[in-house]
Amino acid sequence: SPMKGLLARFINVKPILKFDEEGGLEITDKAFSKERGLKKLLNCVQNFARSRKISRVTVIHFASEETGERVKTSIEKSLNITNISVLLATPALGVHAGRGAVGVAITWG
């Protein structure tokens, strides 16, 4: 809701989101700093990849190329994957996620 979003921005909450089986978004975790948020995001990626054969990883950033590259490097080291793309999100996504947000898309199988 708009009120929840306003409150989250006010107290600097960084939600960790994932798509569910139906394609909807669900909050899997929350962090109160960018660094903790990035660590939790990396943990989610590691947990997801643990039981799957990963074929492709893409890091998407929203006007934060440096953060996108940091996430890429962390994933490369932790999962031993080298073919990771880093892309700038479209304005349509960026306006909802906000400047500085980062996401990870994983293809497996």
pLDDT for 4 equals: 67
Q: What are the chain's domains?
A: 33-108 (3.30.1180.10)
pTM of the predicted protein model: 0.85
pLDDT of residue 10: 64
pLDDT in tens, the chain (109 residues): 667 666 666 677 888 999 888 999 899 999 999 999 999 999 999 999 998 999 999 999 999 999 999 999 999 999 998 889 999 999 888 787 888 899 999 999 8
Instruction: Check residue 7 and give its pLDDT.
Output: 65
Q: How many residues does the chain have?
A: 109
CA-to-CA distance for 85 and 60, rounded, in angstroms? 8
What region does 23 belong to: left with phi over 0, alpha with psi -120 to 50, or beta?
left
Q: What is each CA distance from 97 to 14, 26, 50, 80, 108, in whole angstroms?
A: 10, 14, 27, 28, 25
Report pLDDT for 26: 92
- Predicted local confidence at residue 14, as pLDDT: 86
* Cβ atoms of 66 and 99 closer than 8 Å: no
Type of residue at 101 = A
Neighbours of 18 (CB within 10 A): 15
